[in-house]
């Protein structure tokens, strides 16, 4: 298993952001892995997930959004975040040109990734994985944040905890059910941070990711 630090040029105006690759000896695919709104790519959840995925022959390219790179408190606007997603996908294609590519993200990172891909379909991307889709603010159940998902032309995997305060379970079920390319998998008792008592939730997430990406690569588009 190899680790490699990289820089990703987002744009001339925005500049570069940091990235990190975790590369297993025989990668079956690579995930462009975006962080959430509260912590960057070096957060223990992101790092542990990347190593657990590598143990399952899945490479990852983690990267910071510009607001984290520049130590700003507020998340980037969608326009800026989308540019970062675009740049990270392009850099990953450059680094792993012969490896099947998936896009993934924790919370905010997943939502920004799917927003970008809903408007800019990329045939090189095989699917999107959400590690806790942030469907609504805590205490304010709604589904408006999911409207763009109807425009996504890629298989999507939603890994959701049943106690996620940012995604009421009944609502996320209702969002996913009519979308032919969406698969929803529940982690009983887990919150938005995937904490669920003493359960090894990150290994569970890595297993679910590996099983789903394997199906996609085998030709099952859900």
Report pLDDT digits (tens) over 17-26: 999 999 999 9
pLDDT of residue 221: 80
Largest CA distance in the chain: 45
Give the whole-angstrom CA distance, residue 89 versus residue 96: 10
What is the reported pTM? 0.96
Query: Quick one: pLDDT band at residue 220, thresholds 50, 70, 90?
Result: confident
How many residues are recorded in the chain? 222
pLDDT above 80 (res 222): no
pLDDT in tens, 77-127: 999 999 999 999 999 999 999 999 999 999 999 999 999 999 999 999 999
pLDDT above 80 (res 192): yes
pLDDT of residue 206: 98
In the chain, helix, strand, coil percent, each to 5? 35, 25, 40
pLDDT of residue 51: 97
Taking all residues of the chain, what is their mean pLDDT, rounded to a whole number?
A: 96
pLDDT of residue 15: 97
pLDDT of residue 111: 98
pLDDT of residue 190: 97
- Select from 40, 111, 46, 109 the least CA-distant residue to 69: 40
Sequence-distant (≥ 6) Cβ neighbours of residue 6 within 8 angstroms:
18, 19, 20, 21, 61, 91, 95
Give the whole-angstrom CA distance, residue 181 versus residue 80: 27
Are 11 and 83 a contacting pair, CB within 8 Å?
yes
Query: Quick one: pLDDT band at residue 1, thresholds 50, 70, 90?
Result: confident
pLDDT in tens, 35-84: 999 899 999 999 999 999 999 999 999 999 999 999 998 999 999 999 99
Query: How many H helices and E strands in the chain?
Result: 6, 8
Give the whole-angstrom CA distance, residue 58 versus residue 51: 9
Q: Domains in the chain, ordered, with CATH? A: 2-217 (3.40.50.1820)
pLDDT of residue 75: 95
What is the distance between the terminal CA atoms of the chain, rounded to a whole angstrom?
Answer: 29
> Would you state the structure tokens that stand for residue 96, as one six-digit string?
């792993």
């Amino acid at each position: 298993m190899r680790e490699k630090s990289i820089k990703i040029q987002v744009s001339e105006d925005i500049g570069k952001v940091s990235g990190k690759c975790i590369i297993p000896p025989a990668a079956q695919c690579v995930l462009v892995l975006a962080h959430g709104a509260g912590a960057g790519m070096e957060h223990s959840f992101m790092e542990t997930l990347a190593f657990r995925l590598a143990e399952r022959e899945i490479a990852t390219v983690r990267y910071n959004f510009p607001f984290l790179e520049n130590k700003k408190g507020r998340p980037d606007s969608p326009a800026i975040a989308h540019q970062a997603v675009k740049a990270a996908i392009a850099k990953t294609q450059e680094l792993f040109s012969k490896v099947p590519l998936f896009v993934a993200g924790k919370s905010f990172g997943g939502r920004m990734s799917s927003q970008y891909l809903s408007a800019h379909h990329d045939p090189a991307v095989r699917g999107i994985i959400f590690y806790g889709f942030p469907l609504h603010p805590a205490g304010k159940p709604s589904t408006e944040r999911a409207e763009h998902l109807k425009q996504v032309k890629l298989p999507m995997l939603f890994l959701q905890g049943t106690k996620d305060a940012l995604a009421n379970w009944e609502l996320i079920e209702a969002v996913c059910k009519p979308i032919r390319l969406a698969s929803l998998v529940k982690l009983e008792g887990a919150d938005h941070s995937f904490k669920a008592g003493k359960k090894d939730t990150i290994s569970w997430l890595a297993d679910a990711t590996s099983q789903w990406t394997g199906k996609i690569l085998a030709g099952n588009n859900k």
